[in-house]
Structure 1
Amino acid sequence: GIADGPLASTEAARAGRIIPSDDTLSFLGPLGLSSALGCVPTSMDERMRATIQLLAGLGITTCSDLRGLGRGPVCERFGDVGQRLWTLASGGDVVVPLGVRAHSDLSVERDIDSGGERIETMTIPVTRAADELSGRLFRAGLVSHTLRIDVTDGGGSSRTRTWSGCDLSVSADIALRVRWTLTGWMSATQGPSGEVRSIRLTACDPHPGDSASALWGRGHREADVSRSAVRIQGLAGPDALLMPRVQGGYDPRSRVVMAPWGAGEALRSRSGAWEGAVSKPPATLFEEPVPVRLTASIGAGSDVCVDQRGALTAPPAYLCAGRSAHRESDRCDALAGLVGPARIRSVAGPWPVAGRWWEGERARAYMRATLEDGRVVLLVWSGGEWMVEGLDE
């Protein structure tokens, strides 16, 4: 088959057709967006799948549907993933950097004939698989920092987990992460439906060269940090050591997630349009929001709310403690003085945020209030009440 662009040429080859350049768009039009998954790098696969799933929920399922949205809105909303998807759906060519040789993922699979009900009895096949994978990478002169583990049980159920930031040249590190994956699955509510029957280890995105990482620098310091982290997880479990990661979101709370060290969970892209997002995060973000009240005057019956149009029902004059006025945590100490009314000097907002309504997010509105003592609080109106999200001293 012959056609313009990687997606069109792939589909033309499958159909055994020659597609003239002028017919590329009409040929791609009815094609499902999921066909583009075979034309993206492994590092973009998870984000591309999430984007295609989101578009499908909005009724955008084919290449012609996507082109109907316009290139600008697609790229603005979905960033580099949207740009790649648009290029493929339009029959364009994907630029591959010169001098970079692509290598396929390396996989090793082991069948568990017996003893698959206990982790201890699977030690030997797991160790052999880890040794083989690290050996294949070494002999090929490749390195990889991403390990994907696929486990299948006798009942047909499977579990997949991806670990990033690990050194696959060390077989002991590979085996340890397999053990964590098995431990997490077997202790989960929806665990395996039978004995473990097979384990597949995959080194994702292998590339030539020595192991390197820019996060902690090179050499002994990086090795010491990684070794300490692995030791902690080995003693207390993979979820015992969490690290903050930043993703896209409308507000400071949704932009920060805590993920296990070395885990490769997919995060929301920070690029694209987050219309109505709160721009400047507060210096202090409370672990849990603090309920408060805004009033137009001192006394009952003067509460300030946000109406259905996203506007304040009255100019707020005082900030008072909400239903948890007692100091039960450090967050209440940080808001010292709010047990009694605190005078509000000025406000900015509110900014209504519809959120990702297709994911069940509740509509809310954010506002900044400057208090008489100079402190600035970030407030959110949600579910019929005000809460303090964070604080700037």
Structure 2
Amino acid sequence: MGGATSAQVAVRSTAVERRILALWAPDWPAAAAAAERDLAPHEPIAVLHANRVVACSASARRAGVRRGMRKRQAQANCPHLVVAADDANRDGRVFEPVVAAMVELVPNVEVLRPGLCVLPISAGVRYFGSVEVLAEALVDAVSALGVESSVGVADEMFTAVLAARRGIFVEAGGDAAYLVDRPVGDLMIESSLCDDRRVELVELLWHLGIRTVGAFAALTPTDVATRFDDDAVLAHRQARALPSRPPSGQAPAPDLAVEYTCDPPIERIDAAAFLGRRLADELHHRLSSAAVACTRLAVRAITELGQEHSRIWRCAQPLTPDATADRIRWQLEGWLTAKEKPDSPIVTIVLEPIEVVAAGALQYELTGGREVAERARRALVRVQGLLGGDSVRLPIRSGGRGVVEQVTMVALGDELRPAADPAAPWPGRVGEPAPAVTLTDTLVHLVDAEGDPVTVTPRGAFNAEPVLLRVGNRGHSVSWWAGPWPSGLDADDAVQARAQVLLDDSRALLLLFRTGQWWVEGVYE
């Protein structure tokens, strides 16, 4: 009499099958940086990008540090603050043991980003008996690694991720009710489930008087689709607790998977990173040929003795070649540097698209700009494969006083990190416009009307007016000059300075006075 009917059991089983558990490690970039530096839990730390705080620990927040603060203000609020540079590779590498600990308990863990995982709870509940016991087991496994985490459960992924930030289990069928009073800013709180346009959408909704997720959900789909862009349509589905991205109805073709036999086997991190770029390029060539893009990717690595290491990566937007290469690198680097390293060198790597969408999800502009850039990138990767990883390098803006110092050359595929912060103050930095050509080893002689060398005094001024510039046996009259501008001391503790000169043949040069001699540092056009 009190037993459940088969239909009721089926309904409950279906509800469990579709529910999602999210595990969130708060402030992960800061936690990863602290783990790498072996800091004590109470020591405040902040991660900076472009001289602004992008993540900080709880102890740093208690001292008044906030996201978006400039470095100087953060250090003023917290004098003992430890500062670390933003490093996506570090975040992925340090998060790998956390994912491994979760996989030991429940399979099919999907990594949205370092610091955030989701998984279907069906298999785990069948084994552990209840979702509460499953969540407790996951948190305990992660805590054993010294990582703080919280868990949320809901019907849909977006709701589960929000619930994880508060450690809430949303009852089955209650996603919409849970979201209705949430602030509209929650629509952009998790970058792995939206794109960069979400910030603009939230600002626009705020100006329109829409303050809660429920108020946005109350709009009709037609109004949203006609007034806003496609990301707003996705946000509206998330706000209504509808499936934001169900598994694609298009099954991946079997020939999309990339399997590579490593010869020689991989034991070093640099070899893994270089191979990851090559495999990512090959995978995306196959995806492009099939007119599809990948949103869920399984990466498997197999050793000589048969040990296998597998992860599933999920992204809000279709994976690009660079994003795929990053995930391969994070996974392999985390495995190769873990306490329990592979039992032997890696001999096989398999990239298998699990979920694909139409290629329209990753459209290029009609002008062909990005398509041309992608074709050029592939050609450069091929050159890199023939000549080595450092054979192709890209310039990025860096910090420094001289024009040469303001450019950092980075190998293609590596993180675009400048050698120095370009936003930091650089007294004596050469002003705009920058020279069109930079030089490093062209020695010249600057002389006065008497033919004596023109130098820079300890007080940073010319000892005489420059009249002639000699390059080898040739001389050019100086028709105009500006400077000098001192920029510190050189290796011999002598004054170092820069000056600009205009020659009689209309050439304009940027000169550097160093070690008692003048060098051409740049040529203006």
TM-score normalised by structure 2 residue count: 0.39
Structure of larger gyration radius: 2
TM-score normalised by structure 1 residue count: 0.49
Relative contact order higher in (CA < 8 Å, ≥ 6 apart): 1
